[in-house]
Structure 1
Amino acid sequence: MKLYDYWRSSASYRLRIALNLKNIPYEHICVHLVKGGGQQHSADYKAKNPQGFVPALELEDGTILTQSMAILEYLDETHPTPALLPSDALGRAEVRSLAQVIASDIHPVNNLRILKYLAGELGVADEQKMTWYRHWITKGFEALEARLGNTGFCYGDSPTLADICLIPQVYNAHRFNVDMTPFPKISAINENCLKIEAFDKAVPENQPDAE
């Protein structure tokens, strides 16, 4: 497999965690989102992913998969051990719900293209932009914290799809100085997950294109 990603991309970070957890070998191909106006806009890359987003996963037969949540479910169906979703329907619904708090409600309004639009076309000052960023992480984390138990992970006693989405978002929260004091459960889950080699190997600073 070939993983087209960028070291600081949250969605790419999710896939690195899952691939590592499942011990799936892959070739890393950097698509730099900043250099040269953004390599994701190149004709070559848009031929692979017309949206111009990362990540994209190229399978052995040349098939290209896009959208991290869809790819995560594909990996779980084709490489079922360790499972990223519980065995029961109610558990799967709960884990997917927790994951979507991040993947659907926090991440989309805070990704690079939104921040660039705020600063560029709308002329939002840097401090206002950071206030925007912290606001949406905080609102999402407030809801998430209220739903979490004390098992050390988002659901149950092992990592799931929800943890795979959470850890990159906590990384962003730290990067942009979000006050994590109100979120002890989230912080504990982050600490537990980063003790696992698959999570640690996926950390942005541990990637070959990290700057």
Structure 2
Amino acid sequence: MNIKFYYAAGANCCERVRWALDFKCIAYELIDLEHEFDEAHFADISPFGRCPIMEIDGRALSESMAMVEFIEEIYPSPPLNYSDPFLRAQVREICEAVNSSIHPAQNSSIIQHFRPDLNKEQMKPIRAHWIASNLAKLEAQLWKNSSFAIGSQFTLADIFIAVIYRKGIKLGNSPKESPCFETHWQHLLSQPGIKESCPIIE
């Protein structure tokens, strides 16, 4: 299987997928959009003109949720979800809360559409507050059985939570304001296989 992964460093959706690929030690060609690439071809396979995009044997996927679920189905080991249907649904629930409810509204392109008067620096506190306030709403659903987000193993839920939490930190949030999320982040970094595959460690 030939996988090409179109990637932009710092983009939440890209980091999620790259973490899953690297955790499972899947071979792929990384196409960094900061370097030279086939722009015409990218435009043909990217409906919204943005990444991530994953081509699998010439067929393209354009949404990070579709990509990580495809990865999990094709490369089930090591697992990033559970075999139990309800636990699987809980992992998806957290991923979708991040993907659909938290991530879009903090995206600078979305804010710029509604507030064209703001520059990127002025957007940062708005984005940071949105992430922190909405992660706080998720807290009651997390870490009920272990230091992992859902259940007792590393899953896609951990990836989605960690990536958006760290985005908030980059935008100006303080770890002291979200101690449970910081504890979760440090727990992930204490696991060698997880840390080694993480693309957002600075």
Query: Which residue, out of 43, 46, 51, partners 2:43?
Result: 46
Counterpart for residue 176 of structure 2 = 181
**Cα separation, 2, equivalents of 1:26 and 1:99:** 23
1:147 to 141, 147, 152: 141
Is 1:63 matched with 2:65?
A: no
Task: Flag structure 2 segments of 5+ consecutive residues without an equivalent.
Answer: none
1:5–1:29 CA contact under 8 A, matched in 2: yes
Correspondence for 2:124 = 130
TM-score, normalization: structure 2? 0.86
1:26, distance to aligned residue in structure 2 (A)? 0.9
Give the SS at the match of 1:109: helix
2: CA distance between counterparts of 1:112 and 1:203?
A: 21
Task: Give the 3 Å change call, closer, same or farther, for CA 117–199 of structure 1 in structure 2.
Answer: farther
Q: Which digits, 9 at most, give the CA deviation of each residue in 1:154-194, with x for residues without a partner? A: 01222111111112112211111113324222112211223
Q: Could you say which residue in structure 2 is the equivalent of 1:156? A: 151
Q: C-alpha distance in 1, partners of 2:8/2:65?
A: 17
Matched, 1:11 2:13: yes
Find 1:110's aligned residue among 106, 116, 138: 106
SS at match of 2:105: coil
Q: For this pair of structures, how many residues does the alignment match?
A: 198
RMSD: 2.4
1:142-165 Cα shifts (integer Å, max 9, x gaps)? 112222225111012221111111
Q: Give the superposition deviation at 1:126.
A: 5.4
Q: Are residues 127 and 63 of structure 1, via their aligned partners in 2, closer, same or farther at CA, if it must alter by over 3 Å? A: closer
Alignment correspondent of 1:209: none
Q: C-alpha separation between the residues in 2 aligned to 1:80 and 1:161?
A: 12
Give 1:29 shift: 0.3
- Contact between 2:132 and 2:178, CA under 8 Å: does it hold in 1? no
Deviation at 1:82, TM superposition (A): 1.7
Q: For residues 199 and 108 of structure 1, what CA distance do their matches in structure 2 show? A: 26
SS of the residue 1:57 aligns to: strand
Equivalent AA in structure 2 for residue 161 of structure 1 = L
Q: TM-score, normalised by structure 1?
A: 0.83
State whether residues 145 and 183 of structure 1, in contact with CA within 8 Å, keep that contact through their aligned partners in structure 2.
no
CA distance in 2, matches of 1:47, 1:126: 28
CA contact (8 A) 2:128 2:169 kept: no
CA distance in 2, matches of 1:145, 1:158: 17
Q: Which moved more, 1:9-18 or 1:170-179?
A: 170-179
Paired with 1:182 and 1:193, the residues of 2 have a C-alpha distance of 19
One-letter amino acid matched to 2:139: E
CA contact (8 A) 2:128 2:168 kept: yes
In the alignment, which residue of structure 2 is the partner of 1:21?
Answer: 23
CA separation in 2, counterparts of 1:116 and 1:123? 8
Identity of aligned residues (%): 29
The SS at the match of 2:6 is: strand
